[in-house]
Structures are given as structure tokens and as C-alpha cells.
Amino acid sequence: MDSRAIIQAKRRLRVAKEAFCQLETCDSDDDFMLKWTEFLSAIDDVFEKIEKGSRNSPQCRQWFGAIKRERKTDPLLNYLHHARNADRHGLEETASFQAGGIELSAKPGSAGFLLKEIRIDSSGNVIIDASDRDAVNLKFCAKTIKLKTVIDHRSQRYYQPPDTHFGEAINNPSPLEIGKRGLIYVEKLILEAEIRLGSS
């Protein structure tokens, strides 16, 4: 293993971590997409650096061949790779945004209600005037960000947001959950590459 590859992969990992950490505090959808695409590119760069560094020995090439197969067969790793490609080579967004809001419904078993007024005061409190206030079911819905199906324009294949990672179910395939698992994987990948460096 070429030691330069590990140094450069660690730099790209740092970029990925910084972009990932900023995802939670983005002020706008555009800021989020900018950080998400930075993250996808940096994760992909880690793979590229390690692959290039593994070319100097047959054992390292064989090891990275197994990593490439893993990346093709694991839904999460495969999705991250193709989401980066879709972002770089296509025009479609890799994530979508659903605005948050307030959901009103009648409580089960009630006769319903007539909504007369809904307003938000200066403190942010929701004030509801209804014919039967006890029948009102009020739910606050947070803004959600969902990963989209991406397309590889060269092969015309579609890649769904992952629902498993190495056989383990992913209950919430949000960018934050998928990103966190991707970071854990590439950190381990770099550690394995360092072990190979020590044994070559």
C-alpha cells in the first residue's frame, strides 16, 4: 500500500466529516444540497485514493478487488457511489425536501369540529378556535429530507435509497443516517489500508 494514498484518503475523510457535520445546521435547502454533494464527492474520493494506493502490490490489489465487490453488492455503498455519479454527471437532485407544518384532524370517535380560526402568536404558540376544541387533534410535522432514486445515465440503471447495509435493516434512510453509516465504513477502510501498509 502506498502511504501517500492513506494520507490523501484521510484528508478526503476530513472533508466528508466536515460536510456531514454541517448538514444538520444548514439554513436552506441549497446549503444542504451543497454540503450533501461535497460529502458524496469526498466519500467517493476516499475509495479512489485507496484504490490507487493498492496498485503497488498483488496482495493489496486483491484486497481492494474485494472492497470493489463489496461496494457493488452492498445497497448503501452502491447507492452512495451512484448518487455521487448522478450528482456529478446528471441534472437530477439526489434528495428532496418536504416542508414542515401543522396537521389538523378530528380525534377518533369525535363528531368532528368546525374550525373557526387558527393563528400563531408572537411567542410561537398555536391558537385554535374550533366548535369542539376537545375534538381537535393537532400534530406538528417537521421538515423532512428524503433521498431520491438516482439514475446512472451510462447504464440507464436506477438505484433506490438503501434499506439495508451488510444485511442490517435501515429503518430511516435519511441523508443523515446513510451518511453516518458511510462515514463509519470509510473510516474502517482507511484503517484496513493502514494495516496493509504496515504489512507490505
- Mean pLDDT estimate for the chain: 89
Question: Does the pLDDT value for residue 109 go beyond 90?
Answer: no
Pairing of strands 150-152, 126-130: unpaired
The confidence score (pLDDT) of residue 176 equals 93
Look-up of cell digits 504496515:
198
Q: What is the mean pLDDT of residues 76-94?
A: 89
What pTM was estimated for this model as a whole? 0.80
| Residues paired with 139 in a beta bridge | 103
The pLDDT-based confidence of 124 (bands split at 50, 70, 90) is: confident
Question: Does the pLDDT value for residue 129 go beyond 90?
Answer: no
The confidence score (pLDDT) of residue 199 equals 60
Q: What is the mean pLDDT of residues 110-117?
A: 86
The confidence score (pLDDT) of residue 120 equals 85
CB 135 within 8 Å of CB 107: yes
Q: What is the mean pLDDT of residues 100-105?
A: 82
Separation CA 37–CA 26 (nearest Å) = 13
Q: Model confidence over 155-179: pLDDT tens digits?
A: 789 999 999 999 999 998 999 999 9
Percent share of the chain, pLDDT over 70: 98
At CA 53, angle to CA 151 and CA 198, rounded to 5? 130
- Domain ranges (residues) in the chain: 3-98+147-199, 104-141
Q: Model confidence over 1-44: pLDDT tens digits?
A: 888 999 999 999 999 999 999 998 888 889 999 999 999 999 99
Question: Does the pLDDT value for residue 181 go beyond 90?
Answer: yes
